[in-house]
Chains A and B, each alone.
Chain A
Amino acid sequence: MQGFFLGLSSGAVCAAYCAPVLVPYLLGEGRSVLQNFSALLQFLLGRLLGYLAFAVFAWGIHASLPQDIAHRNLLIGAAYVLLAGLLIFYSFFKAGRACPSAGGQEIDHRLCDSRSSLFLLSMGLATGLNFCPPFLLAVVTAADQASLLQSLLFFLTFFLGTSVFLIPAPFLGLLRGFSPLHLIGKMAAGLIGAYYLFLGTTMLAGGLYR
């Protein structure tokens, strides 16, 4: 339960960290609330995978990683670059190219769906590894756990606690009738992507040339 409460108490900060990635995407897609919930679940699944991967790691290294600035920069830098790549790709290359769902192109449609799932999973994974302050706190606490299972459980409950704050996000679907929001979401994704790209590359450079 400790993880859950830690997640709950710091969930607003987690939501603030996820929002720059999630909000432009949900606006840009302009889907219904229900479809947004499914997108959020895929995103959260990616984030959970990131957390669990880190749970194994945190347990294995006993919290030495967060204290090692250079390694930490490398990891966060890589996560930012991945996020930047995804956001910029979304902004420029997915812009205006709707899924050909009509006209019996069932295979294309499914291909599109699986591509967008992969996209959401990757965005979730990258935000999961993005070392926001509550996450760092969780890493340190998880590293004190006696067994790998305990560490995994800790991260799972932490994840559940933080996810509560993302529940309102799908309701952005209520605004989908306002079509300019799709374009605004895509433009914002590009701008935020550029910002992450700079942060990521400088962190990577800082980690490499210390």
Chain B
Amino acid sequence: MMKEHPPHAKPSEVRQSPGKSFLYALPMMLLTLMMLSGGKIPADPQRLFVLAVTYLFFNVLFFLMIHTGKTDRYRATAFITYAILFIVSFISHMFEARGSMSLSQEKIILCEVPFCHLVIPMTLIPAAFTKTIIFPGSITGGFASIASMFVIWIGASLSMGRGWCSWGCFFGGLDDAFSRILKKPLIRKIDPRWNYLPWAVLLAVVLTAAAFLSPTYCEWLCPFKTVTEFQAVTSFKILVQTIIFVSLFIALVIVLPLLTKRRIQCSLFCPFGAMQGLTNRINAFDVRIDPDSCINCKRCMTACPTFSVTEESIRTGRPLMSCMKCGTCVDVCPKGAASFHVRGTPVAVNRNIKRLLFLYAAFLFLAIFSGGTIQDGLSRIIRLITTGSMI
């Protein structure tokens, strides 16, 4: 039942004047300038142009986040752009290095496969027991090495927990994008038991990877291989694997997010995401609902793209462990009851400061982590326009 709005609770005032917003955004402008340029301004005009566009892109978005008090729409703009340009940049790299998106046996034997964070859960048990990494990638050198990905993952987990899935993951922007296309969902009822599927996928891939010492999720299920790299079809087994991952891409990343307006791949399938939910428990930031201001309108529940707000969580004031800290619930709440929060502090106090602290951690991570890729992707597009080729 809808509760009467209590007299003492007022919608949180997160909008800021342009001057104040500029001041709050100033440290971000300086930090991103340093990180994106690496301390030196490029002499090549095209590189300078790309750097300037990337820099402006991030800082305008951050300024708007502070000025309007809205998080999700600006986050999504950066996050989706990142996913698209990641694909452009990655595919160009693959064509440059090996002439196609498909992986040959030779590259696998030579351990030259780029490592991605989705493999992490499968590597942990075999690494502990056999002291080997069951992935044909390079440990330190080369493009996307295993060590660099582990360091990035640990940094992201400490700074934002499962916020990684809305602010860091280079694949997440894809189902995020498709979930925004329709105005209203065509499928509304989804059995809540599906929420446990990512845990089952995690359990299945961890156990089979430990038994067969091979990254079973990458081989059989990862939908994102469709838009990055895949094994050349040289056997019946690889053909079946290809059919499976392409079908999963179409279903989980395109069709279902489109029809449900939810991030189906990320919230109902990805085993890494399930594991990453655990890091929400050790992370300083979370999202909370203040029961005193909440009028139980359930807008947050309807809008959450990851099924992380339930009736129970509105009652207890805590979204589920699967919360990706995207900010949608915070934006749609008419009473400012949902807010970003720092653990160990009272929920209804200093919401603006807590939001700003979280945004600095998450947005800075996104800008630094994606900056290089976005610049490379943009350069490739300019090259495509000017020369007719991306490589």
Contact A202 B236 (CB under 8 A): yes
- Is B216 part of the binding interface, using a Cβ–Cβ cutoff of 8 Å? yes
Q: Are B237 and A195 touching (Cβ within 8 A)?
A: no
A12 nearest in chain B by CB position? B129
In chain B, positions 309-337 with a C-beta closer than 8 Å to chain A are: none
Report the bound CA distance from A2 to B237 in whole Å: 38
CB atoms of B211 and A16 under 8 A apart? yes
Q: Mark A167-210, 1 if CB is under 8 A from B, else 0.
A: 00000000000001001111110111001001000100000000
* A195 to B212 alpha-carbon distance, docked (Å): 11
Interface residues of B in 170-205 (CB under 8 A from A): 193, 196-197, 199-201, 203-204
CA distance A17 to B207 in the complex (A): 8
Main secondary structure of the interface of B (DSSP, over half): helix
Instruction: Evaluate contact between A192 and B197: CB separation under 8 angstroms.
Output: no
Q: Is B66 an interface residue (CB 8 A)?
A: no
Query: CA of A192 to CA of B201 in the docked complex: distance in angstroms?
Result: 9
Contact partners of A19 in chain B: CB under 8 A: 207, 210-211
Contact in complex: A20, B196 (CB < 8 Å): no
Chain A residues with CB under 8 A of B237: 198, 202
How many chain-B residues does the 8 Å CB contact rule pick out? 19
In this complex, what residue of B is CB-closest to A27?
Answer: B203
Interface of A is mostly: helix
Chain B residues with Cβ below 8 Å from A16 are 125, 129, 210-211
Work out how many contacts link A and B, with CB atoms closer than 8 A.
Answer: 56
| A191 and B204 contact, Cβ closer than 8 Å, known pairs A183-B193, A184-B196, A198-B240 | yes
Known contacts A17-B211, A195-B216, A195-B220; is A183 also within 8 Å of B204 by CB?
no
The interface residues of chain B lying within 8 Å CB-to-CB of A188 are: 200-201, 203-204, 207
Contact with B along A2-42 (1 / 0, CB 8 A): 00000000001000110110011001000000000000000
Cβ–Cβ contact B193 & A192, under 8 A: no
Q: Across the interface, which residues of A come within 8 angstroms of B197, CB to CB? A: 187
Cβ A23 vs Cβ B220 within 8 A: no
Query: Complex Cα distance A16/B200, Å?
Result: 17
Query: When the two chains form their complex, are residues A184 and B240 in contact, meaning their CB atoms are under 8 A apart?
Result: no
Determine the distance from Cα of A105 to Cα of B160 in the docked complex, in whole angstroms. Answer: 53
- B-binding residues in A (CB < 8 A): 12, 16-17, 19-20, 23-24, 27, 132, 180, 183-188, 190-192, 195, 198, 202
19 examples of A-B residue contacts, CB within 8 angstroms:
A17-B211, A19-B210, A19-B211, A20-B204, A23-B207, A24-B207, A180-B199, A183-B196, A188-B200, A188-B203, A188-B204, A188-B207, A190-B200, A191-B200, A191-B201, A191-B204, A195-B220, A202-B236, A202-B237
